[in-house]
Structure 1
Amino acid sequence: MYTALVAIQVLVSLALIAFVLLQQGKGADAGAAFGAGASGTVFGSRGSANFFSRATAVCAVLFMSISLALAYLVNDMAQTEAGSVVEKMADDAGANATSGPVVPEDEAPVSGADEAGTPSRPSIPE
């Protein structure tokens, strides 16, 4: 369902962009007021403005409602997967604390000097 909503969201957004770009600006009305021949167009003298305005409004409502639906789905998926952020951090910290090698205290390497008290030299890899 998520993939279908994303595909519809992309199509609605492209249609919204197209309708906004196809609309005439408000300054184009001055030429029509003096009889610029707009009555011979496909939508009539005022039909295109009403059609594109309504189509833009419908696309905007669809875009917002699909965006809210997608936000709800993503939030629902995130909550069912792992819980809260604090729980995830606690789980990660617990996994990292036990994942390292455990060295007993009596076998822990001593840095700086050996048992006789002489300074140890760092080993150089060959």
Structure 2
Amino acid sequence: MEWLKTLLVVVQIITAVGVIILVLVQQGKGADMGAAFGGGSSGGLFGASGSANFLSRLTAIFATIFFIATLGITLLSSTKSENTGVLSATSAPAPVAESEAAKTAPSPVPPAAVPGQNIPK
């Protein structure tokens, strides 16, 4: 299952970069006004509808694949029963033997006086 998780991470990275590039390549809504006044040719490489439909659909496809990969990674990670948190790599302190604990145990100290405890009622 680890290979599937690695594959999903690779797919997620590729689609994330693809979405970023596609969003940056697309023109804004106001860019169509320039084409209306003869500023550009909208019927070039992508047909009469321009590149807006093609790039919008491709962006939606990449975003869908990205979200599916993210959900897959989440499901694969949540099925483990062991603790895989940030601090899981740290080791637990070694248990102290009884004789060592008795030697290093602090002597009992009376609790410090808390302001307001000695007020008569």
Distance change (3 Å), C-alpha of 1:108 and 1:58 = closer
Task: Tell me which stretches of 4 or more aligned residues in structure 1 moved more than 4 Å.
Answer: none
Q: Quick check: 1:24 aligned with 2:20?
A: no
Unaligned runs of at least 5 residues, structure 2: 84-91, 107-121
Partner of 1:37: 40
Is the contact made by 2:22 and 2:55 (CA closer than 8 Å) also made in structure 1?
yes
How many residues in Structure 1 have an aligned counterpart in Structure 2? 95
User: Counterpart of 2:69 in 1: which secondary structure?
Assistant: helix
Is the contact made by 2:43 and 2:49 (CA closer than 8 Å) also made in structure 1?
no
Equivalent AA in structure 1 for residue 99 of structure 2: V
Equivalent AA in structure 2 for residue 10 of structure 1: I
Partner of 2:74: 71
Q: Quick check: 1:60 aligned with 2:63?
A: yes
After superposition, where does 1:1-126 map in structure 2 within 5 Å? 1-39=4-42, 41-77=44-80, 79=81, 81=82, 99-103=95-99
Equivalent AA in structure 1 for residue 13 of structure 2: V
Equivalent AA in structure 1 for residue 20 of structure 2: I
TM (normalized to structure 2)? 0.66
Larger Rg: 1
1:75-118 Cα deviation digits (max 9, x unpaired)? 012x2x36xxxxxxxxx6xx85xx212229xx858x9xxxxxxx
Identity level (%): 41
Equivalent AA in structure 1 for residue 26 of structure 2: Q
Structure with more contact order per residue of length (Cα contacts < 8 Å, sep ≥ 6):
2
Equivalent AA in structure 2 for residue 101 of structure 1: A
Unaligned runs of at least 5 residues, structure 1: 83-91, 112-126
Give the CA RMSD over aligned residues: 2.9
